[in-house]
Amino acid sequence: MKLDRTYTLKEISEIVQCAFVGNENHKITGINEIHMVESGDIVFVDHPKYYDKALKSSATTIIINKEVECPAEKALILSDKPFDVFNQLTTHFRPLQSPHAQERQFIHPSVQIYPNVFIGNNVKIGKNTRIYPGVCIMDNTTIGDDVIIGANSVIGHFAFYYKKKESGYDRLHTCGGVEIESNVEIGALCTIDAGVTGITYIGKGTKLDDQVHIGHDTVIGKDCLMASGVGIAGCVKIENNVILWGQVGCASDVVIGEGAVVYAQSGIGKDLEPRKTYFGSPCAEAKEKFKEMAAIRQLPELLKKM
């Protein structure tokens, strides 16, 4: 998430009432969680396992719960509760807003909007798009030309990102959005979560069947095909021309290579190479998985002979 202007480290520290390490005029231009950071961003880290990852990331300001040596050209904001400070900042710069009547200059006159459709704040919709009954398009969503969104789908709901505390689960404030390119088709009852601080992206020409879920900050390439029941976790990268058949599930932070095909009910837990066909849970190349299954079917007879 880019800020409305460049802020100094001192200004940000005053907003959250935290001590800092670094030049008080150190520049801050954005706020992002660890998967989305770039130079100028603030990120948070609250577990020793991820200290190095955050400190060595592209982020140039780190909210951290331990006094450590500050990397060159970076700054630290010190807090016992980095998660809460990060939420405080994202809420400060992009608070939740109640729906309000907007001018429709960002919705093309040719768009067909069926009854009972909800459209949130800061939404842009291109020409010849059709939005069927019951669809909810939440804040900060951009939709291209010639897009079809099936009945009762939800675009841009909160990211599924929580921290366990003694009082229960606390959700990371969602301030990102969704971008859907032209010629995309989204079936009925699909759910596409907004990015935590960035953008969940659906590439041009991709088609989603009914009841497909796409997690926060996932990036889907061009001309992909996903059958009913597919569930994609957050921060997944799916390259162009990927096919996922029914009820495929994918863990977070995975890359699925261009042209990969994954057969129904498979579980993806690690990166998949391009232009190969996969099956099983955990999935592997389909031809090898089928050999394993054939071998397993022979086990009862082999055991009888022992």
Nearest alpha-carbon partner for 172 in 84, 64, 77: 84
Q: In angstroms, rounded to a whole number, what is the distance separating the alpha carbons of residues 266 and 11?
A: 49
> What spatial distance separates the first Cα and last Cα of the chain, rounded to whole Å?
64
* Residue 138 · residue 194 · CB < 8 Å: yes
If you search the block for the tokens 């990268």, which residue do you land on? Answer: 237
Q: What is the 3-state secondary structure (H, E, C) of the chain?
A: CEEEEEEEHHHHHHHHCCEEECCCCCEEEEECCHHHCCCCEEEEECCHHHHHHHHCCCCCEEEECCCCCCCCCCEEEECCCHHHHHHHHHHHHCCCCCCCCCCCCCECCCCEECCCCEECCCCEECCCCEECCCCEECCCEEECCCCEECCCCEEEECCCCEEEECCEEEECCCCCEEEECCCCEECCCCEEECCCCCEEEECCCCEECCCCEECCCCEECCCCEECCCCEECCCCEECCCCEECCCCEECCCCEECCCCEECCCCEECCCECCCCEEEECCEEEHHHHHHHHHHHHCHHHHHHHC
Amino acid identity, position 80: D
Q: 26, 173, 213, 216: which one is catalytic?
A: 216
Catalytic status, residue 173: no
**What residues are labeled active site?**
216
